[in-house]
Structure 1
């Protein structure tokens, strides 16, 4: 960042402000690298999609549909996303929480990079999901491969975005809990069942489908399962993006309210 400041002054340009998109992206990547250097987070990101893919392949008689890699990759994304329940508390363990909470910048610019990083480390599981799945795929690519590939790419990108905003909501809900890590499993498995990576969404009972539609990840998975780059894909993508905006706004309000309450009551142990 110091080098950027010097180059900006030489060009007669203002130095980048701490809240710019570039600075936020740099902080997010810093946290991604840091979390992946910790065995717990690295194992969650890499081993979860491997185990999920092997379980689906085993139950199918050691035969994998071409979409198994996508389901496994999303399972890894969501598994790391649930670590957001305790990611702010993890900053307390590292001794950096008080500096983030008492900084001059808005709370969301301080906490969003580390919260988003808890979801983004799940992207590291994508190569593992592909490596485990592809050797068991026996069917040929088929003529619909370009359409399916387009749906998978769009669905996966939407899944990454959905997990980032979901991580923000989870972190704001559990910021005041010292034992938030205990909720990870309780959140992880139900979402696997609801979003459609275990059972197709259309096969779920109507009341369960209605509940599932409250989560943006469901729309992302359904977009990948649509199989054709047509109006249905666009509709699922629009629904996912709309819910992501709602989740982002809720996360910002929730985090601000939680930190304000913690500062007043002294329940965050910032000192």
Structure 2
């Protein structure tokens, strides 16, 4: 266990540094969050409601994490394949899933920066009051939300092992997920048939936990539901990774570009 945690920490730190040196990823994490936040706040400011602005600011902040995951995490193994290092990851004695999770956690960390930048931008430029009534619970909710995004990014990334164009899934799911999870639009406003889909996605509960902590409530139910779904999604991701990897080996398609 100690060796595994050390591996995860070292891989996480290595990929954080690599992402910080990528022009594309740097632009994505610096400009894109501010772009989303500006549009959302301009729309909500028309209502003249301070609470609505706060709602939009935190929703846009969490949405930037998903943007980083959907666009970057889904292409992690595509980059490894293009660099010729995917075979080394597969042949390494470390479980393949552990290597991928470490990379996705690095992307989630960068997304956490995007959330912080969005909140600062909202407060400085738009004068949004981002006072947090439960700072400790808010920090816990943010961490759990980051992990929930990471497990979804994990599932998106492992599909690239078997399907070379699977990276496009991240771009295709970006807008539907932030809409269904209630980042900028309350889940209560969604059609009745769509709400169960929201309940099955861990970021929905993570977003609800963040909002509850900001409002001074104790998000116990939300955190528990998010944690349970994280475990379920992580188990599904490990199973998919093993299945797709076995299929790629069987059909000799691991290194195909």
Give the TM interval when normalised to the shorter protein.
Answer: 0.7 to 0.9
**1 or 2 for the larger relative contact order (CA 8 Å, sep ≥6)?**
2
Distance in 2, matches of 1:79 and 1:234, equals: 26
From 73, 78, 85, give the equivalent of 1:96: 85
Q: Does 2:68 match 1:80?
A: yes
Aligned residues: 249
Answer yes or no: is the 8 Å Cα contact 2:67–2:174 preserved in 1: yes
Answer yes or no: is the 8 Å Cα contact 2:41–2:57 preserved in 1: no
Answer yes or no: is the 8 Å Cα contact 2:65–2:108 preserved in 1: yes
Q: Does 2:38 match 1:49?
A: no
Distance in 1, matches of 2:130 and 2:90, equals: 54
1:187 shift after superposition: 0.8
Distance in 2, matches of 1:61 and 1:123, equals: 25
Distance in 1, matches of 2:115 and 2:45, equals: 23
Q: Report the secondary structure of 2:133's partner residue.
A: helix
From 126, 141, 145, give the equivalent of 1:159: 145
1:150 shift after superposition: 5.0
Structure 1 segments unaligned to the other structure (5+ residues):
1-15
Q: Report the secondary structure of 2:54's partner residue.
A: coil
Give the match for residue 233 of structure 2.
247
CA RMSD, Structure 1 to Structure 2 (Å): 2.3
Give the match for residue 56 of structure 2.
68
Q: How does 1:108-127 map to 2 (within 5 A)?
A: 108-127=97-116
Between stretches 218-227 and 169-178, larger displacement belongs to: 169-178
Distance in 1, matches of 2:211 and 2:137, equals: 7
- Structure 2 length as normaliser, TM-score? 0.88
Distance in 2, matches of 1:139 and 1:241, equals: 29
1:67 shift after superposition: 3.9
- Structure 1 length as normaliser, TM-score? 0.83
1:36 shift after superposition: 2.2
Distance in 1, matches of 2:35 and 2:230, equals: 28
Distance in 2, matches of 1:164 and 1:140, equals: 25
User: Measured at CA, do residues 180 and 47 of structure 1 come closer, stay the same or move farther in structure 2, by a change above 3 Å?
Assistant: farther
Q: Report the secondary structure of 1:211's partner residue.
A: helix
Q: How does 1:131-210 map to 2 (within 5 A)?
A: 131-135=120-124, 136-137=126-127, 145-147=132-134, 149=135, 152-210=138-196
Larger Rg: 1
Q: Report the secondary structure of 2:45's partner residue.
A: coil
1:182 shift after superposition: 2.5
Give the match for residue 28 of structure 1.
12
Answer yes or no: is the 8 Å Cα contact 1:151–1:228 preserved in 2: no
